[in-house]
Chain A
Amino acid sequence: MDIINEEIQRVPQVLGKKSFKKVTDIIAKPSESPAPKWWVIGLLGSMSLAALLFSLIGYLIWDGVGVWGLNNPVGWGFAIVNFVFWVGIGHAGTLISAILFLFRQKWRTSINRFAEAMTIFAVICAGIFPGIHVGRIWAAYYLFPIPNSMAMWPNFKSALLWDVFAVSTYFTVSLLFWYVGLIPDLATFRDRATTKVKRFTYGLFALGWNGSNRHWMNYEKAYLILAAIATPLVLSVHSIVSFDFATSNLPGWHTTIFPPYFVAGAVFSGFAMVLTLLIIARKIFKLEDLITIRHLENMNKFILATGTMVGYAYAMEFFMAWYSANQYEAFAFINRAFGPYAWAYWIMVSCNVISPQFFWFKKLRTNIPIMFVISIFVNIGMWFERFVITVTSLHRDFLPSSWDYYIPTWVDIMTFVGSFGLFFTLFLLFLKYLPIISISEVKGVMEIADPHYYDHHTEDKQ
């Protein structure tokens, strides 16, 4: 072959010579075959954990916030930590589906559905916590600007209120985005449905999609617009979540680096969570050809990049604590690293800063067991990051007389575990009943979708 004619060969998005039908068959298989044993067991397990979550919430509402380990200096504990953790996880989905879409990153197509679903479920889990952490849950509607006869209006200066709007907007947009993307695939499922119930249900949500040119045109436009709306949300939601901390005056919270640092952290944790789930799903559903090692490698690159950003933020916080010459600030950070919660801090640092550094090596970032382990580490580390920020700053602030130690109760811990139950319940239902890979989008990036596909192949034959 002539050196001039050599062109850079793009790595194919879908491996193996597959026809469109084959792709549809693979993706539709779980919903069309009877529920496998592992799925039933998994669902029952998750549902019982979810039931635990709701019963503990019931207990909380019945008895009071005191069932948690909170105390006087530490007014926020597990609930807020879990909230930020789950919201952060959601970010990967939006980033993958919206921002990568706008940047025309075609590799996203095989993972975006999955990531978006994870976003929705994570935000559902996240949304529970700020709701239940208040002392008088029956009065929580005071947070919304509902015209009332009590002459009450929310305080728009409070970051907590911004949070309410940020998270609810985020949830709405993510849900819409996900749903719009689902429509063509739902129609496919409808068309392949074997039972009346299925046909009716899928048909209902497919909104009468018939794949006409006009439908496709409207669909593409709507999808693009929603992607454009969702993109700023990736940045705004976690920035606003970080304002909960940054707009206060507490040493360790009151930091200008928080918005970018939180966004990076959110993307970091989100990608790790997608990766964890994807590696399992890919194996179980035999999607290796659709979700290739290249997809995973790309995600690992993201994890490496954001993990390093997070590490930079940790270092910068320390630098600023020293550079500001503010003794309260300095103490807050020294106390983080060497105080009573040092164990949490060093778990955080080793999981978030050190573990992703292995991804500098191609061998490691394409090794599935290793990336699985690291993704778990990152998940753990990011939960601890929120714990460190929330608890260590609160437990020792300005006046030493109020310093105290926070110990979570069993209710704290089991509520957090229960939230995983809810997450996995929703996720398992998604795996079984919805197309976990965007059929229409994947088809669009397959080699055979290339109008010149046959040209090439005919040339070869000559």
Chain B
Amino acid sequence: MSQIKKEDTEFQTTMLSEPKSRRSALKAIGSGMTVAALSGCVGIRKPKQVIQTYTKESDIIVPGEPTTYATSCNINGQVNGLTVTTHEGRPIKLDGHPHHPNNYGSSNAYIQAEIHQLYDPDRLKGHFSNQKPTQFNLIKKALSGIEKNESIAICHPPVRSLLEASLLKQIKARYPKSNFFEISPVNKDNQTAALLDATNTHGYLDYDYSSAKMVVSFDHDFLGNESDTLSSITKFIKYQNQFTFVSYSSSLTITDSKANAIINASIKSQEHTLIYIAQELAKTFGSAKAIKEINKHSFNKKHIDTKKTNELIKLLIDHRSQTIVSIGEIHSIEMHKIGLLINQLLNNINRSVRPIQLPKDLIRVQKFSSHASVIERLKQLIENKAIKTLISLDIDLSRFIPNVESSLKPINTFYLSTYKNRFTRLAAHVISKGHFLEEWDLLMSREGHISIQQPVIQPLYKSKSTIDILLALLNIPDSAYTYLKKEIRKRKLNETEIKQKGLHKNQAENVSASIKGVSLTKNKDNESYGLTLSVKPSYQLLDGKYTNNSWLLETPDPVTKLTWGNAFIISSKFAKKETLKTGDIIQIRLKTSDILKGPVIILPGQNSQTISLSYGYGKLTDSAFSNYGISADNLKSNANYEIASINKTNEFEALADTQMNHGLDEETLAASGIKSRIESILQIKTVEELNHTHKAHEPHSLFKELSYESEYQWGMSVDLNACIGCSACHVACQAENNIPIVGKEETQKGREMSWIRIDRYFIENDSNETTINYMPVACVHCENAPCEQVCPVNATVHDDEGLNVMTYNRCIGTRYCANNCPYKVRRFNFFDWHQKNPQSVKKDRIHLFDYFREPSKQTQKQFNPEVTVRMRGVMEKCSYCLQRISKAKINAKVNNDKSIIDKLQTACQQACPTNAIVFGDINNPSSDVSTKRKSKRRYDLLQYELNTKPRTIYLSKIKKTVWESQKTKETTYGYH
């Protein structure tokens, strides 16, 4: 469904080209004025300042009607096309650009949470020189005053901006002694380095799932934080039934939720396995050189699950040239090289595994070097006082270079920062950084697609962009916008295309590289087999970029279900050995003599030799929320550390998890309860089982059931085979429906407000492997809704289109409905969460018997005006995005166009990168959701038990047997 064929003028960009007609001039002026008027007024509801009315109404801005703009953004090197929904000049929601090949309309949690990032009231609001507020002009003067021969160091995140790339080149020309340092703590350096070594090209690996028959991954979270693009996730899901996916895993990831077999193995054991596989394959397929190279390494069989690995090798050989062996970033360069070798031996290169060269424009101005070596080099330059000027483009160097304070003093530092942090206190000049929704830019994705990044709101503060700084450094008088236009002309890009879609697709085939040969180095010590700490990027905070984003902080980690902080993930075996229980605080001393302290969480599927920790937590900025979790700032992300010792302290921390980890390992009673019911809740079945399943008895009601005869009947389907638990829907729902955050303590009490939750179940499969399974649950809109019958005040009722609707005004908050909801999807406002939020501010006008606080002015602008902001004491829940349904119905009626109904999407559905969620009219037999309802995989959660007749149906996850021993067992298994 992903691609929309028609040229949709809705996404057209404005103000890009100079106004050509009187009409468009008025348009531009009008929209500019709205933005000005709105950013000027303090409160949206009770404006205190004069609103300037339109003298001539703008065509594109109709009060009450949202306008959508196309833009794009770069999040840690991943470029995605976006559409921004704005209401009267306020952007309120971000979604994927339906045409952008990197995401085709889908998004992830980061994209969804970016809107919250824009309105963050803790952002740096002005510029500082020597800790005193100053004007940008003065800083600009200081920047342009830098002498040509001065040694300049510029630190920047991965460059995806063509403007930045071209400006950096000019800077190199103008300041010959300038050096650039690309700093990204969450990166793919090991993969890149291995590829560089093997192919001599700077690039990345592209997996072609469409032709694959067998996928084997080694701690590679390619559906999660190590995903290449959102489209690659979509593609994996699309073709997953064609291949078998085996995952070697030291700690479960969301990728493992799609694995057909999971082999629990520590990093070291995976290394041995990789060497073993490579040597076995080299015996048959390897050239003499390859054999020589791989024999530099040796393995020890006792670390390898030989039985399964041998079977796996057989399968790999059977499907030679149609397999993918992928290595996670947590593995060393050497292992990535072995991975490449295996792929080469299996004849996969440029078939199912394609090494792709980065577009020329994006190849760094300086040669590739890994994050660690960049930091090392910079550190030395700073310490040797070889740098006179340091320009940091939103990179807090104090995070990476410990004790940088003293050596930084003689350096003239310019720091473009979003927040106040340690480094702003050190830098001579601090410039407030804008958000990408306030700035012009031209981005190029790794795949070569060019997209525009256009501002949709005037900067909320006096912030400047990266481009502004670089322009100032080059003394170019252009604004970013003018420079952008020049760049577009210079590149001879199709202006109409860019203007209408905000996007120029790269039509040319990407340059693929060929592997010249893998050279390995003899391994030192593969025998040390101790306890390791693996540091992995966080699913919420990425590298710490979202450290102050309360939405993401409260989004449960898909695997641990922890919010507001991280924890050391340990296995139950290890916990038993050390007599630890979830929440106990331990102190870990690494062999590098770093000490970390924090709580543990016992998680099934965790390797007992591995303790995992997510990166990006701890106090990074001086802001309301940036102080949660265990800081791994002294360590690198995607790296393993040997542990010297572990001390149990007497402290305890109650973890704020949204799903208690009863069962499997902790409590036998709960475990047995879960085990007996999980079959009916998840209904994971093999294809054969699905073909043999008889339709279950339809329970019948003693009551006269409601009849639903209205024109539209809404329904949803959730494909559990597609869902990867990534939580994009979770954040999308939060943005769309003004869902407040409740904070750590309240989450710990179990009062989270999210309307959609992603249930995670660990199940032991037939081969004694712990699998991880996801099930998104929002209100299922039962036709026989148990909540409705018990509400004493008729606050929750059914409409004739099958929606179970909440009347907030009527609700008095007895919570009876929540008690009676078997799906437990109702959420109660125990407090006024907006007032309890630490970012709330004192009310402008205090009323007696009203409360004293209100959301910050910025947060107020973010609210979706089409959704009620709930007060305390009322119940709320998923409404199937009622506001979108109403709008679609009205538009369908006004335009007499039923296709508008077909295009209707809920917020969660729109965000979902795997199209797991489908919503629509079940009365229309040709709608997507109707097709899904006819699927063999369909089941209705708790329908058999309670006859609730849910409108949300589930499509069961498919079980695929990988191992021979299991297959023989299957045949004796009887169905009924």
A residues with CB within 8 A of B: 63-66, 69-76, 133-137, 139-140, 142-143, 152-155, 157-161, 164, 244, 247-250, 326-328, 331, 334-335, 338-340, 394, 396-405
Residues in A with CB closer than 8 Å to B790 are 157-160, 247-248
Do residues B792 and A160 form an inter-chain contact, with CB atoms below 8 A?
A: yes
Do residues A136 and B819 form an inter-chain contact, with CB atoms below 8 A?
A: no
Least Cβ–Cβ distance between B852 and chain A, in angstroms: 11
- In the assembled complex, the Cα of A74 lies from the Cα of B760 at a distance in Å of 20
Q: Rank and list the top 7 A-B pairs by shortest CB-CB distance, nearest first.
A: A135-B813, A135-B873, A66-B830, A71-B750, A75-B815, A401-B759, A402-B824
Q: Which of A64, A250, A327 contacts B677 (CB 8 A)?
A: A327
Do residues A249 and B792 form an inter-chain contact, with CB atoms below 8 A?
A: no
Do residues A135 and B811 form an inter-chain contact, with CB atoms below 8 A?
A: yes
Residues in B with CB closer than 8 Å to A136 are 811-813, 871-874
Q: Which of B786, B794, B812, B828 contacts A153 (CB 8 A)?
A: B794
Number of residues on chain B facing chain A (CB within 8 A) = 58
Least Cβ–Cβ distance between A334 and chain B, in angstroms: 7
Residues in A with CB closer than 8 Å to B677 are 327-328, 331, 398, 400
B412 at the interface (CB under 8 A from A): no
Do residues A66 and B792 form an inter-chain contact, with CB atoms below 8 A?
A: no
Do residues A331 and B942 form an inter-chain contact, with CB atoms below 8 A?
A: no
Do residues A249 and B816 form an inter-chain contact, with CB atoms below 8 A?
A: no
Residues in B with CB closer than 8 Å to A340 are 667
Do residues B824 and A64 form an inter-chain contact, with CB atoms below 8 A?
A: no
Could you tell me the dominant secondary structure of chain A's interface residues? loop
Do residues B761 and A135 form an inter-chain contact, with CB atoms below 8 A?
A: no
Do residues A249 and B822 form an inter-chain contact, with CB atoms below 8 A?
A: yes
- In the assembled complex, the Cα of A403 lies from the Cα of B659 at a distance in Å of 7
Can you name 20 A-B pairs with beta carbons within 8 Å? A66-B831, A72-B818, A72-B827, A75-B818, A135-B814, A135-B873, A136-B812, A155-B794, A248-B790, A248-B820, A249-B822, A250-B819, A335-B670, A339-B669, A396-B673, A397-B822, A400-B662, A400-B670, A401-B760, A404-B750
- In the assembled complex, the Cα of A326 lies from the Cα of B673 at a distance in Å of 12
B749 at the interface (CB under 8 A from A): yes
Do residues B830 and A65 form an inter-chain contact, with CB atoms below 8 A?
A: yes
- In the assembled complex, the Cα of A201 lies from the Cα of B824 at a distance in Å of 55
- In the assembled complex, the Cα of A250 lies from the Cα of B816 at a distance in Å of 11
Least Cβ–Cβ distance between A154 and chain B, in angstroms: 6
- In the assembled complex, the Cα of A399 lies from the Cα of B759 at a distance in Å of 9
Do residues B660 and A135 form an inter-chain contact, with CB atoms below 8 A?
A: no
Chain B's closest residue to A140 (CB) is: B812
- In the assembled complex, the Cα of A161 lies from the Cα of B816 at a distance in Å of 11
Do residues B792 and A164 form an inter-chain contact, with CB atoms below 8 A?
A: yes
Q: Which of B820, B829, B875 contacts A249 (CB 8 A)?
A: B820
Residues in B with CB closer than 8 Å to A152 are 793-794, 810
B681 at the interface (CB under 8 A from A): yes
Do residues A399 and B681 form an inter-chain contact, with CB atoms below 8 A?
A: yes
Do residues A75 and B828 form an inter-chain contact, with CB atoms below 8 A?
A: yes
Do residues A73 and B750 form an inter-chain contact, with CB atoms below 8 A?
A: yes
Residues in B with CB closer than 8 Å to A398 are 677, 822-824, 942, 945
Do residues A135 and B828 form an inter-chain contact, with CB atoms below 8 A?
A: yes
Least Cβ–Cβ distance between B385 and chain A, in angstroms: 56
B757 at the interface (CB under 8 A from A): yes
Q: Which of A65, A140, A249, A338 contacts B946 (CB 8 A)?
A: A249
Do residues B873 and A394 form an inter-chain contact, with CB atoms below 8 A?
A: no
- In the assembled complex, the Cα of A64 lies from the Cα of B832 at a distance in Å of 8
- In the assembled complex, the Cα of A303 lies from the Cα of B751 at a distance in Å of 41
- In the assembled complex, the Cα of A5 lies from the Cα of B759 at a distance in Å of 82
Do residues A334 and B830 form an inter-chain contact, with CB atoms below 8 A?
A: no
Least Cβ–Cβ distance between A390 and chain B, in angstroms: 9
Residues in B with CB closer than 8 Å to A401 are 659, 757, 759-761, 775, 777, 824
Chain B's closest residue to A393 (CB) is: B819
- In the assembled complex, the Cα of A101 lies from the Cα of B16 at a distance in Å of 91
Known contacts A75-B819, A75-B828; 14 additional CB pairs below 8 A are A70-B830, A73-B750, A75-B816, A134-B814, A134-B873, A135-B828, A142-B810, A158-B816, A160-B790, A160-B816, A250-B822, A326-B945, A400-B663, A400-B681
Interface code B869-905, partner A: CB below 8 Å = 1, 0 otherwise?
0011111000000000000000000000000000000
Interface residues of B in 168-225 (CB under 8 A from A): none
Least Cβ–Cβ distance between B711 and chain A, in angstroms: 25
Question: A140-B812, A164-B792 in contact; A64/B674 too (CB < 8 A)?
Answer: no
- In the assembled complex, the Cα of A247 lies from the Cα of B787 at a distance in Å of 11
Residues in B with CB closer than 8 Å to A405 are 660
Q: Which of A64, A69, A244, A335 contacts B873 (CB 8 A)?
A: A64
B676 at the interface (CB under 8 A from A): yes
Residues in A with CB closer than 8 Å to B676 are 327, 331
Do residues B660 and A404 form an inter-chain contact, with CB atoms below 8 A?
A: yes
Question: A155-B792, A399-B681 in contact; A250/B820 too (CB < 8 A)?
Answer: yes
- In the assembled complex, the Cα of A394 lies from the Cα of B669 at a distance in Å of 17
- In the assembled complex, the Cα of A164 lies from the Cα of B812 at a distance in Å of 14
Do residues B824 and A72 form an inter-chain contact, with CB atoms below 8 A?
A: yes
Do residues B812 and A248 form an inter-chain contact, with CB atoms below 8 A?
A: no
Q: Which of A248, A334, A403 contacts B819 (CB 8 A)?
A: A248
B752 at the interface (CB under 8 A from A): yes
Residues in A with CB closer than 8 Å to B868 are none
Chain B's closest residue to A75 (CB) is: B815
Least Cβ–Cβ distance between A63 and chain B, in angstroms: 7
B726 at the interface (CB under 8 A from A): no
B746 at the interface (CB under 8 A from A): yes
Do residues B822 and A399 form an inter-chain contact, with CB atoms below 8 A?
A: yes
Do residues B945 and A328 form an inter-chain contact, with CB atoms below 8 A?
A: yes
Interface residues of B in 754-788 (CB under 8 A from A): 757, 759-761, 775, 777, 786
Do residues A76 and B815 form an inter-chain contact, with CB atoms below 8 A?
A: yes
Least Cβ–Cβ distance between A215 and chain B, in angstroms: 43
A71, A249, A394, most chain B CB atoms within 10 A: A249
Residues in A with CB closer than 8 Å to B659 are 401-402
Residues in A with CB closer than 8 Å to B793 are 142-143, 152, 154-155
Least Cβ–Cβ distance between B287 and chain A, in angstroms: 52
Do residues B749 and A71 form an inter-chain contact, with CB atoms below 8 A?
A: yes
Q: Which of A134, A331, A403, A404 contacts B812 (CB 8 A)?
A: A134
Do residues B819 and A133 form an inter-chain contact, with CB atoms below 8 A?
A: no
Interface residues of B in 408-432 (CB under 8 A from A): none
Residues in B with CB closer than 8 Å to A66 are 746, 751, 830-831
B789 at the interface (CB under 8 A from A): yes
B791 at the interface (CB under 8 A from A): yes
- In the assembled complex, the Cα of A396 lies from the Cα of B750 at a distance in Å of 13
Residues in A with CB closer than 8 Å to B791 are 155, 158
Least Cβ–Cβ distance between B235 and chain A, in angstroms: 29
Residues in B with CB closer than 8 Å to A327 are 676-677
Chain B's closest residue to A63 (CB) is: B831
Do residues A249 and B872 form an inter-chain contact, with CB atoms below 8 A?
A: no
Least Cβ–Cβ distance between B35 and chain A, in angstroms: 37
Chain B's closest residue to A65 (CB) is: B830
Chain B's closest residue to A156 (CB) is: B792
A133, A139, A399, most chain B CB atoms within 10 A: A399
Residues in B with CB closer than 8 Å to A334 are 669, 673
Least Cβ–Cβ distance between B924 and chain A, in angstroms: 30
- In the assembled complex, the Cα of A396 lies from the Cα of B815 at a distance in Å of 16
Interface code B811-853, partner A: CB below 8 Å = 1, 0 otherwise?
1111110111011100111111000000000000000000000
Do residues A135 and B812 form an inter-chain contact, with CB atoms below 8 A?
A: yes
Residues in A with CB closer than 8 Å to B669 are 334-335, 338-339
Q: Which of B789, B794, B873 contacts A65 (CB 8 A)?
A: B873
Chain B's closest residue to A327 (CB) is: B676
Residues in A with CB closer than 8 Å to B829 are 64, 135
Interface code B482-505, partner A: CB below 8 Å = 1, 0 otherwise?
000000000000000000000000
- In the assembled complex, the Cα of A135 lies from the Cα of B826 at a distance in Å of 14
Do residues B830 and A399 form an inter-chain contact, with CB atoms below 8 A?
A: no
B677, B819, B942, most chain A CB atoms within 10 A: B819
Chain B's closest residue to A77 (CB) is: B815
Question: A75-B816, A160-B816, A405-B660 in contact; A400/B674 too (CB < 8 A)?
Answer: yes
Chain A's closest residue to B757 (CB) is: A401
Residues in B with CB closer than 8 Å to A63 are 831
